[in-house]
Chain A
């Protein structure tokens, strides 16, 4: 602080305690102070802004449980993958929780975000799909699931599901289909999609390897086995730099003949 006056202006109240902001940290870290005699401040008093974030004066219904999902479509298959780490703040809650959910045997939903919202969204979708199957005597086609998911998310436009979804499957012609969503139901069919904490590490890599951007060699159709290897490398990459991604990645390959699953271990740090 340049002067006692500016220091006095910078003092804020945090959780019933006076504190000064540390301007170098990202998350609004604070050093607690007491304007009085006993001013002993310890290193473990420092709030890094992660465990006690700035909105927590009230109650927040949302929490980010971490994780990354990725889906890639091919001419007759779709690959969808998600890591299996569940976190809360700086803590890992589980190293083995799935983010993938098969809605039909031709369609899989991968969701990262707030786990309770994801679970509830899945429940709602499962119910709608059962009712459809009862009425129509056949399972829902992937483009219809995509539309229904978009509408379901928009129903909660003013108290959204904190779920970042990626839908992968084969359409009625057997071609691979991937749909990307935002939290309030805006969606689009895309060649690939990544969402969650590691999306920024995956998307540029996919742009180069799958969409073949900024490359001089000829683009070719990739077989599903090669795409699975690319997905493994991609998650290793994301896991290196994203603290919320790691432990293992679950990879599903969807074709008109059904679903196969593989689990690939990642670094546990």
Chain B
């Protein structure tokens, strides 16, 4: 890597001590479609706004909530193609982990590895930071549900509930009012949908949002089907 014409980092400190490329990456995230997550006492829910540029776009083919291991999943706000790279790397590292330890990679380890990758891209030669923030949902080996946010800088945070992307400030305020420590997963899913609807442009239907859920009971991450989403939407109305 030393010989290459790109052996210098593109992310360098400004005089005031900021890494401007990371700030700009966070701007890209703040312009992305809203995503949020809520950690209940018996599970985690993550959801995102899948509204697309034209009604002609086939929404079935767009996947924003992705399963990484059988017990964990990602959602993002920001630059979609950058997200796909992270999903692929995370899945590969989870399989390598399984090969080493005959066990599913725990969420905490998944977050550390992914955050490590994102940090690398702020210091390596010739690359730019990822233009996404991730929300990672999963259940740990001992049954504890966890929600993490990972930023373009590689910083990661555990959250009880959070939102990223456009309108995240209002969404977080809404969540702060509604969140309770002993919330159940069903309530969390309701609250997530209500929060998403708050800042939604136009009508929210079961095809222009995506919801992923992992429950403590079976520890499996799954995407809600449009029918299931519709049931929750009907209840919310």
Contacts and interface: CB of A to CB of B under 8 A. Distances in A.
Contact of A147 (B101, B108, B109): B101
Contacts of A147: 99-103
A135 B101 contact: no
A144 B101 CA distance: 4
B165 to A, nearest CB: 30
B99 A135 contact: no
- Interface residue range, chain A: 10 to 19
* Best-surrounded residue of B99, B102, B112 (most CB of chain A within 10 A): B102
B106 A151 contact: no
A146 interface: yes
> What bracket does the count of chain B residues touching chain A fall in?
under 10
A140 B101 contact: yes
Contacts of A143: 102-103
Contacts of B108: 136
Nearest to A140: B101
Interface in B79-130: 99-103, 106, 108-109, 112
Contact of A151 (B100, B103, B109, B112): B100
A139 to B, nearest CB: 12
Contacts of B102: 143-144, 146-147
Nearest to A132: B101
Nearest to B141: A138
B109 A136 contact: yes
A135 B100 contact: no
Contact of B109 (A135, A144, A148): A135
A141 interface: yes
A153 to B, nearest CB: 13
Contacts of A141: 103
A167 B101 CA distance: 15
A136 B106 contact: yes
Nearest to A172: B141
B106 A148 contact: no
Interface string B164-183: 00000000000000000000
Interface in A100-117: none
B100 to A, nearest CB: 6
Contacts of B100: 144, 147-148, 151
Nearest to A143: B102
Contacts of B103: 141, 143-144, 147
Interface in A146-161: 146-148, 151
Contacts of A151: 99-100
A148 B97 CA distance: 10
A148 B112 contact: no
Contacts of A140: 101
Contact of B112 (A132, A135, A144, A146): A135
A140 B108 CA distance: 15
A124 to B, nearest CB: 13
Nearest to A144: B101
Interface in B3-47: none
Nearest to A147: B102
A135 B108 CA distance: 9
Contacts of B99: 147, 151
Nearest to A146: B102
A151 B103 CA distance: 14
A132 B109 CA distance: 10
Contacts of B109: 135-136
A197 to B, nearest CB: 30
Contacts of A135: 109, 112
A174 to B, nearest CB: 16
24 contacts: A132-B101, A135-B109, A135-B112, A136-B106, A136-B108, A136-B109, A140-B101, A141-B103, A143-B102, A143-B103, A144-B100, A144-B101, A144-B102, A144-B103, A146-B102, A147-B99, A147-B100, A147-B101, A147-B102, A147-B103, A148-B100, A148-B101, A151-B99, A151-B100
* Interchain residue pairs A-B with the least CB separation, the first 10: A147-B102, A144-B101, A143-B102, A144-B103, A147-B101, A144-B102, A151-B100, A148-B100, A148-B101, A147-B100
Interface of A: 132, 135-136, 140-141, 143-144, 146-148, 151
Interface of B: 99-103, 106, 108-109, 112
Given A147-B100, A148-B100, 11 more contacts: A132-B101, A136-B109, A141-B103, A144-B100, A144-B102, A146-B102, A147-B99, A147-B102, A147-B103, A148-B101, A151-B100
